Amino acid sequence: MQVAIVEPFYSGSHKTWVDALCTFLSEDCITFTLPGRHWKWRMGAGAIQLAQEVNQSSIQIDVFLVTDMLDVAVFKSLLLPQYRSVKIILYMHENQVVYPFQTSDSDKNRDLHYGLINYKSMLAADWVWFNSKFHRDIWFSELEVFLKLFPDAAFHVKEANRCRLKSKIIPLGIDTETIDSNRMDKDLTPSILWNHRWEHDKNPDLFFNTLMRLSDEGYTFDLYVTGEKYSKSPSVFSKAENQLERHIKHWGFVADRKTYYEILWRCNILPVTANQEFFGLSVLEAIYCGVQPLLPNRLSYSDLYAKLDVFYSSDDAFYDTLKGSVSNYKAHTYRSEVTNYGWKSVAKTYDKELIKVQQ
């Protein structure tokens, strides 16, 4: 079977997912990708360019596996006749209906358009895979609210609900063998990790303001900040880099996976403050490396890690719990709870479901 993976935003966790599938799936894979920048343009127009690349390839394709950054309806309409009957699986890493607005974002009408792209893509796809149960549940509940903003809402709500029947939950995986091969000893000093995108939806203000408060109060800790930085990163990063200088052991994006995993192994505390997360690959990798998480009791975390005693419910509780961890750190690992997410195991689920699509 030849699987064509189509990704208009080949960067970050999307890139990691594509590369892992090409490595671990039993099927033959070919990729059609665009660089991970200008995400609104990629969603709005990437399908045009990628459909043309598929048409020009003239290769045999049995299944398209595409992501939520693709306008599937436009993509499908532009394919040559020999490709239009090929089954399309839409993989939902995230969605634009639930994605939080920035407080400075005044062009709300334009932003609503990207939620409509996700909805139309779901209608055009043969199957819709979600990376977590939380994601699927919140997508369908919030999509109904979203569609009621528009004319003919009753019709569209009915259509959206029908799409639940063609949805499945297929998780992400992690490359446990590569991670294990770069194992390092833990730092003796409490070492705090930020390994998320430098964007507002990850709530860096709460994270860094809490650390600056702890620093001012005289607590000792080291800080490792990784994750991708974009052209308009929140201003708190610059402020924190200056005020937390004496704590910083690493600051900035790490392109090399070996170096990145070595940092994860060194760290021992992962305070997470995100306001949006549908799976959380960076959190999963860190937990596998023995980093102790401190997670908000919401989003995909309360779904994926429900059995772990690692949650906080308010900003004050976040501060109190993190202060306790820094002042009296006691090593505790939840690594054994996430070993089932290794790609060698997870890829078997993909293989099984891809065969079903062909039947």
CATH (domain of 346): 3.40.50.2000
pLDDT at 330: 86
Whether residue 220 is found in the same domain as residue 330: yes
Query: Does residue 199 sit in the same domain as residue 75?
Result: no
pLDDT at 141 over 60: yes
Mean pLDDT of all residues in 187-216? 96
**Residue 17: its H or E element:** helix 12-24
8 A C-beta contact, residue 225 and residue 234: no
Say yes or no: 196 and 117 in one domain: no
Which pLDDT does position 320 carry in this prediction? Answer: 97
Mean pLDDT over 268-293 rounds to 96
CA-derived radius of gyration, the chain = 21
Q: How confident is the model at residue 110 (pLDDT cuts 50, 70, 90)?
A: very low
Say yes or no: 21 and 146 in one domain.
yes
Average pLDDT over residues 7-11: 96
Quick check: 201 pLDDT over 70? yes
- Dmax over Cα atoms in the chain, in whole Å? 67
Q: Are 70 and 50 in contact (CB under 8 A)?
A: yes
Tell me what the mean pLDDT of segment 274-287 comes to.
95
**Residue 246 per-residue DSSP state:** G
Query: What is the predicted pLDDT for the residue at 288?
Result: 98
Q: Which residues pair with 311 in a beta bridge?
A: 295
Taking 70 as the threshold, does the pLDDT of residue 107 lie above it?
no
Q: Domain containing 312: what range?
A: 176-340
CA dihedral for 96, 100, 106, 109, sign (positive or negative): positive
Whether residues 169 and 244 share a domain: the answer is no
Residue 106 has a pLDDT of 44
Residues of 61-95 as b/e, b for ≥16 C-beta within 10 angstroms?
bebbbbbbbbbbbbbbebbeeebeebebbbbbbbb
Mark whether 109 and 253 lie in a shared domain: no
**The predicted structure's pLDDT at residue 127:** 98
The alpha carbon of residue 152 and the mean position of all alpha carbons in its chain are separated, in whole angstroms, by 32
Residue 99's pLDDT band, with cuts at 50, 70 and 90, is confident
How far CA 325 is from CA of 160, 219, 333, in Å, comes to 45, 11, 13
Among 31-35, 103-107, 263-267, 332-336, name the one with the lowest average pLDDT.
103-107
Residue 154, pLDDT > 60, answer: yes
Same domain membership, residue 217 and residue 326: yes
Shared-domain flag, residues 165 and 207: no
pLDDT at position 331 is 84
- If asked whether residues 334 and 354 sit together in one domain, one would say no
Phi, psi of 16 (to 5 degrees): -60, -40
What does the mean pLDDT of the chain come to?
Answer: 94
The per-residue pLDDT for range 21-63, each reduced to its tens digit, is: 999 999 999 999 999 999 999 999 999 999 999 999 999 999 9
When pLDDT is averaged across residues 162-183 and rounded to a whole number, the result is: 96
Instruction: Give the pLDDT mean for 9-22.
Output: 94
Read off the pTM.
Answer: 0.91
Residues 298, 161 within the same domain: no
Reference 251, options 201, 193, 169; nearest CA is: 193
CB proximity list for 77: less than 8 A, separation 6 or greater: none
Number of domains in the chain: 2
Do residue 154 and residue 193 come from a single domain?
Answer: no
pLDDT reading at 180 higher than 60: yes
Rounded CA separation 353/355 (Å)? 5
What was the pLDDT predicted at 101? 58
pLDDT of residue 245: 98
Residue range 52-91, pLDDT digits in tens: 999 999 999 999 999 999 999 999 999 999 999 999 999 9
Spatial contact of 196 and 271, defined as CB atoms under 8 Å apart: no
**What are the angstrom distances between the C-alpha of 268 and each of 256, 277, 331?**
21, 22, 8
How far is it, in rounded angstroms, from Cα 196 to Cα 130? 20
Per-residue confidence (pLDDT) for residue 100, from 0 to 100:
63
CB 261 within 8 A of CB 178: yes
Q: Smallest Cα–Cα separation from 244: which of 192, 296, 295, 185?
A: 192
298-353 pLDDT tens trace: 999 998 999 999 999 999 999 999 999 999 988 889 999 999 999 999 999 999 99
Q: Are residues 18 and 152 in the same domain?
A: yes
Taking 60 as the threshold, does the pLDDT of residue 102 lie above it? no
